[in-house]
Amino acid sequence: MINVTLPDESVRSFEEALSVGAIARSIAPSLGKAAIAGRFDGQLVDLNHVVTTDGQLAIINLLVQKIFLKMDLYRKDFFLV
């Protein structure tokens, strides 16, 4: 049994090793479609990365990327003033 802890502290259990993409689809089909990468135990991984051990997983999707990009742009604008 592999236990994956998500950012909201919920835990998903899987009988077998799954890819980050498969885990994203198991959470919600729409998340599986929007996913572009994952962060497993602090390491950036692609959707084909197979999770074989317990750990923490965050799914990175296009919406998250846009938010981080905007935050970074605001931060740069702030320091340019």
pTM of this prediction? 0.75
| Chain-centroid distance, C-alpha 32 | 10
pLDDT at 46: 95
pLDDT at 3 > cutoff 70:
yes
SS3 call for 18? strand
What are the structural domain ranges in the chain?
A: 2-80
Contact 47, 21 (CB under 8 A): yes
Q: Which residues contact 27 (CB under 8 A, 6 or more apart)?
A: 6, 12, 59
Q: Write out pLDDT tens, residues 20-73.
A: 999 999 999 989 998 999 999 999 999 999 999 999 999 998 765 555 555 555
pLDDT at 62: 76
* CA angle (32, 36, 39) in 5-degree steps: 95
- pLDDT above 60 for 74: no
DSSP state of 49: P
The CATH class, in words, for 2-80 is alpha beta
